[in-house]
Structures are given as structure tokens and as C-alpha cells.
């Protein structure tokens, strides 16, 4: 490799032939071979790698696999060399050859010596920027990560708490109902109920189908009062206790009259108590089943949302990802927030599912915050040709033109410290545009702000 090979690179504009010669003498030419790794993520960045020709993929280890995060394919692109100014500097990604070519590899120590000699002020500035940026970024990321994790954890705990409490409450009540069920059978046995009477009573019980009853609460209350009055007139001491599960199951006074015709006076109360207990047990078991199903659904949604057991790039159901995100943010979608789903028939797309879920989280969280606790959140999807379109719309105050114009700038935010997900629209744009070859845009007016994401069905 000689001066002519690197003189035309924009990276070295302004350097004399003598300086380029010094750089070449301090470094070495390294060939690029497809599939051969040049440097490894996490190792000390002891060398500065400058692409002369060919191409190198940059990948990071995410979860259980390597994910390509960029490509060096333009002469003059560079990587590494961070230990020239930072003793703790490491490679941010691994570099692996994808197209034959050459790189100039310069030791970090040589790079520091040459820059100090050629640009002493620049060397001091770079050194200061490295130290300051590392300190600020580390502190900010740690704080924001804790806030985001705490927000999601609190939301998930809130979502799980309700069905868990309902299951606990129903299980406790079920214990008492089972004891009543057993004691009522014991009293029937002591009353010497006949087999034919018990069979007839059970037949009457089977006529009632609680699951098929859908009465207005006021109608149920009226029916409970009527049944309790009838029970009181027939000498049943626990009339209000027995009347409630009977009325809730759909039992009326006419049914009670038929039961009284089957049972003698001594067996009327334990017989109806037994029937009421079976209905109560069925209702409580249904509550336990529904509560545990809800908890199971929440766990499944979190598992799918985090994609902790999946490969990064995979066929992705975008609608399911949106639903999982709505579950994760369910604690914010209460009271005055109405969620309107307008899902089209979408094909599966090739995508980094976990990253897209982070985009949906950010867009939905922003939309909810913009409405200040009251409004309509619309989640729309449709297919258009070889693309799918996802729109997150809110009825908040909208963005002023100057805010909308800067919304995708790095580090730009209008939220107070500690609010939001910590995933700015700049990062959302990078995920959509750079990782998925899609596009993201904002249209905003008072009462109607829409974030539109377009994604190709197949990656180029």
C-alpha cells in the first residue's frame, strides 16, 4: 500500500504526502477476506482500521446471536482506535469481511502520537470529549434504564395484581363454600332424605344453567329479595345467605316451589343450601379460572413482547406486537383513554421483532402522554403493495411546527426528566429506517397527531 492508495480518501483531506507516509509507515496493510473476523466486540480497541476498498460487516452480540448493526463499504470509513484517547476504549462491534479488499491498520499508540504531533489542540479536545461523554452517557443511561425498567415493572405489577387478587379472593371464598356443601349433605343425611328425593332435587338443580343467565343487576337484586322472602316464609333461617347464589344462578320463586314439593319440611333448608353451594362453587371456580387465564395471558404477552426466546430477525406478526405493547402499557390506558383498534389484514414481515416492539412502546407512550389522561388513541394498520403501514394517532393538543420539525433529532425531547420510555424518536427512526429500510413521519394538528410507520414486507 502506498500514498496513492489513500490520498484520495476524504478522511485524509488536508494531510501532506509526508504525513500520509508517516501514517503508512506506522501502520500495516491487512487484507479483507469474506467471513474472516478482523476485530472483536468488547476487546480493547488497540488498532484503528481504515477501509481502503472492499466491505466489512459490523455486528454486535444481542441475546444469543450476532446482529449486524452496520457496514463499512465506503472507502475512508473507519472503526476502533479508541485506546488512543481512552485506556478503557473497546470495539463497539465485531468486524467481519464480506467483500475482498484492504484496510489500513494503525496501532492506537501510533495514532495518538501522530495526532498529537499534527493537531495538538485537536488531540486535547478529543481526549476531553471522550472522558466527558463517557461519564455523562454512562450516568444518563443507567438512570434512564432504571426509570424505564421501574415504569414497565410497575405497570406489569399493576396489571397482574388485579387478577391475582381476584383469584386469591375466590379461592378463599371457595374454601367456605366447600365446607357449606359438605355440611349441607351431612344435614340431609341426618334428615334421612330418600334416594328418590335427592335424585329429583339434583334433576331440578341441573335445569338451572348459570352460565346462560345474563340478568341486569337490578333484576338480580329484585329476584334475590323475592327468593329470600319466600325462604323466610318457609322457615329457612339462612334465607339471605342462600338466596344470593340461587338468584345469581337464575333461580326464581316458581323453581323454589317445585323444590319444596320434592323435599319435606326438615330437608328444605339443607337441600336448598346444598344447591346454592354448588352454584356458588361453580361461580368461584369460574372466577379462579378467568383470573389465572388473565395472568397467563399477561405472562405470554410479556414473553412475546421481550422476544426473549426468539431469534432477532424473524417472520413477525406486527398486529400481535401492537397488542402485546398495549398489554404492557395497560396501566396507562385507563379511565379517560379510549383505545380504538383499526387493524387491517397484514402479512408477516421480516423484522427484528423486539426492536419493533420498542418502537410501538415509544409511539404509544408518547401518544398517551400527549392526551394528559383523556382522549382517544387510534392504532391503525393496513397493507399497501409491498409495504405495511402502522399509524398511531392521538387527540392531544398536537405538536407546534417547530417541535414536529425537530422530533427526530438525537437527544431532542419536550418531556421532563424521568418521563417517557427513554427511547427517543431519533432511536425509533433509526430502528425503522436503518434497521428495517422503512420510513417514519409525523403529521400534527390540534386534536389529531399521527405517527406513520411504513415497513417493507421483505427486506431488500
- Per-residue pLDDT of 85-110, as tens digits, reads 877 788 888 999 999 999 999 999 99
What's the mean pLDDT in 320-329? 86
* The pLDDT of residue 405: 81
The verdict on 273 and 328 lying in the same domain is: no
pLDDT classification of 399: cutoffs 50, 70, 90: confident
Task: Answer yes or no: is pLDDT of 211 > 60.
Answer: no
The verdict on 324 and 445 lying in the same domain is: yes
The verdict on 327 and 278 lying in the same domain is: no
Q: Taking each helix axis as running N to C, give the angle between helix 265-306 and helix 253-262, from 0 to 180 degrees, rounded to the nearest 10.
A: 130
Task: Answer yes or no: is pLDDT of 72 > 70.
Answer: yes
**Higher-pLDDT residue of 242, 66:** 242
Q: Which range is least confidently modeled, 107-111, 156-160, 203-207, 304-308?
A: 304-308
Q: Does residue 123 belong to any structural domain of this protein? A: no
The verdict on 313 and 444 lying in the same domain is: yes
The verdict on 51 and 10 lying in the same domain is: yes
Q: Does residue 300 belong to any structural domain of this protein? A: no
What's the mean pLDDT in 221-232? 89
Q: Does residue 395 belong to any structural domain of this protein? A: yes
Give me 17's grid cell.
504526502
Task: Answer yes or no: is pLDDT of 60 > 70.
Answer: yes
Distance CA 49, CA 371 (A): 49
Task: Answer yes or no: is pLDDT of 387 > 90.
Answer: yes
What's the mean pLDDT in 233-256? 88
Task: Answer yes or no: is pLDDT of 393 > 90.
Answer: yes
Q: Does residue 327 belong to any structural domain of this protein? A: yes
Is 230 in contact with 238 (CB distance < 8 Å)? no
**Higher-pLDDT residue of 383, 298:** 383
Task: Answer yes or no: is pLDDT of 247 > 70.
Answer: yes
Percentage of residues in the chain having pLDDT higher than 90: 29
What's the mean pLDDT in 156-181? 83
pLDDT classification of 266: cutoffs 50, 70, 90: confident
The verdict on 318 and 442 lying in the same domain is: yes
Say how many CA atoms lie within 13 Å of 312 toward its Cβ. 15
DSSP class per residue in 257-288: HHHHHHS-HHHHHHHHHHHHHHHHHHHHHHHH
Q: Which range is least confidently modeled, 105-119, 168-182, 204-218?
A: 204-218
Q: Which range is least confidently modeled, 7-21, 309-323, 388-402, 431-445?
A: 309-323
The verdict on 447 and 322 lying in the same domain is: yes
pLDDT per residue as tens digits for the range 400-413: 888 888 788 765 56
The verdict on 178 and 226 lying in the same domain is: yes
Percentage of residues in the chain having pLDDT higher than 70: 84
Alpha carbon separation from 382 to 304, 365, 366, 435, 443 (Å, rounded):
22, 21, 22, 21, 18
Task: Work out the mean pLDDT of the chain and round it to a whole number.
Answer: 83
Query: Which of these three, 237, 269, 293, is where a domain ends?
Result: 293
pLDDT classification of 274: cutoffs 50, 70, 90: very high
pLDDT per residue as tens digits for the range 128-160: 666 665 565 555 555 555 555 566 666 667 677
Query: Which of these three, 63, 98, 118, is where a domain ends?
Result: 118
Distance CA 366, CA 368 (A): 6
The verdict on 21 and 94 lying in the same domain is: yes
* The pLDDT of residue 417: 40
* The pLDDT of residue 52: 93
Q: Which of 372, 367, 338, 349 is nearest to 454 (CA)?
A: 349
What's the mean pLDDT in 357-370? 88
* The pLDDT of residue 309: 45
Query: Which of these three, 269, 293, 317, is where a domain ends?
Result: 293
Q: Does residue 299 belong to any structural domain of this protein? A: no
The total number of structural domains in the chain stands at 3
Give me 170's grid cell.
375466590
The verdict on 319 and 443 lying in the same domain is: yes
Question: Kindly report the CA angle at 339 between 438 and 156, in degrees rounded to 5?
Answer: 85
The verdict on 262 and 217 lying in the same domain is: yes
What's the mean pLDDT in 379-397? 93
Q: Does residue 148 belong to any structural domain of this protein? A: no
Q: Does residue 423 belong to any structural domain of this protein? A: yes
User: Which domain covers residue 323, as residue numbers?
Assistant: 309-456
Q: Does residue 301 belong to any structural domain of this protein? A: no
* The pLDDT of residue 136: 58
The verdict on 320 and 284 lying in the same domain is: no
Q: Which stretches of 191-308 are DSSP H helices? A: 195-207, 217-233, 239-249, 253-262, 265-306
pLDDT classification of 419: cutoffs 50, 70, 90: very low
Amino acid at each position: 500500500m502506498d500514498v496513492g492508495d489513500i490520498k484520495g480518501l476524504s478522511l485524509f483531506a488536508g494531510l501532506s504526502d509526508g504525513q500520509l507516509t508517516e501514517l503508512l509507515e506506522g501502520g500495516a496493510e491487512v487484507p479483507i477476506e469474506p467471513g474472516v473476523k478482523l476485530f472483536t466486540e468488547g476487546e480493547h480497541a488497540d488498532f484503528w482500521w481504515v477501509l481502503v476498498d472492499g466491505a466489512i460487516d459490523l455486528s454486535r452480540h444481542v441475546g444469543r446471536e450476532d446482529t449486524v448493526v452496520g457496514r463499512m463499504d465506503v472507502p475512508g470509513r473507519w472503526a476502533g482506535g479508541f485506546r488512543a484517547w481512552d485506556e478503557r476504549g473497546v470495539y463497539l462491534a465485531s468486524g467481519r469481511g464480506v467483500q475482498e479488499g484492504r484496510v489500513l491498520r494503525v496501532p492506537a499508540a501510533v495514532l495518538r502520537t501522530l495526532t498529537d504531533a499534527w493537531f495538538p489542540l485537536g488531540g486535547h479536545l478529543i481526549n476531553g470529549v471522550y472522558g466527558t461523554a463517557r461519564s455523562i452517557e454512562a450516568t444518563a443511561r443507567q438512570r434512564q434504564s432504571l426509570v424505564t425498567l421501574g415504569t414497565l415493572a410497575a405497570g406489569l405489577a399493576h396489571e397482574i395484581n388485579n387478577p391475582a387478587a381476584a383469584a386469591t379472593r375466590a379461592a378463599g371464598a371457595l374454601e367456605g363454600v366447600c365446607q357449606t356443601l359438605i355440611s349441607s349433605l351431612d344435614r340431609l343425611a341426618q334428615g334421612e332424605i330418600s334416594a328418590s328425593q335427592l335424585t329429583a332435587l339434583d334433576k331440578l338443580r341441573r335445569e338451572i344453567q348459570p352460565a346462560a343467565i345474563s340478568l341486569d343487576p337490578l333484576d338480580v337484586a329484585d329476584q334475590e329479595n323475592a327468593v329470600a322472602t319466600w325462604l323466610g316464609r318457609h322457615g329457612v333461617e339462612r334465607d339471605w345467605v342462600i338466596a344470593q347464589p340461587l338468584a345469581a344462578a337464575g333461580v326464581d320463586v316458581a323453581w323454589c316451589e317445585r323444590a319444596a314439593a320434592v323435599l319435606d319440611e326438615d330437608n328444605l333448608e339443607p337441600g336448598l343450601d346444598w344447591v346454592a353451594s354448588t352454584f356458588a362453587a361453580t361461580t368461584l371456580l369460574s372466577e379462579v379460572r378467568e383470573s389465572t387465564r388473565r395472568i397467563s395471558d399477561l405472562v405470554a404477552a410479556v414473553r412475546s413482547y421481550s422476544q426473549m426466546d426468539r431469534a432477532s430477525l424473524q417472520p413477525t406478526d406486527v398486529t400481535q406486537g401492537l397488542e402485546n405493547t398495549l398489554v404492557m402499557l395497560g396501566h396507562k390506558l385507563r379511565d379517560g383513554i379510549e383505545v380504538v383498534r383499526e387493524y387491517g389484514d397484514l402479512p408477516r414481515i421480516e423484522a427484528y421483532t423486539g426492536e419493533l416492539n420498542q418502537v410501538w412502546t415509544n409511539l404509544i407512550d408518547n401518544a398517551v402522554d400527549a392526551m394528559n389522561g383523556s382522549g382517544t388513541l387510534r392504532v391503525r394498520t393496513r397493507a399497501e403493495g409491498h409495504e405495511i403501514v402502522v399509524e398511531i394517532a392521538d387527540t392531544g393538543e398536537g405538536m407546534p411546527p417547530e417541535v414536529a420539525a425537530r422530533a427526530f433529532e438525537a437527544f431532542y425531547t419536550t418531556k421532563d426528566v424521568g418521563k417517557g420510555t427513554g427511547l427517543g424518536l431519533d432511536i425509533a427512526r433509526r430502528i425503522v429506517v436503518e434497521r428495517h429500510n422503512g420510513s417514519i413521519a409525523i403529521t400534527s394538528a390540534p386534536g389529531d397527531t399521527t405517527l406513520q410507520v411504513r415497513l417493507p414486507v421483505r427486506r431488500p
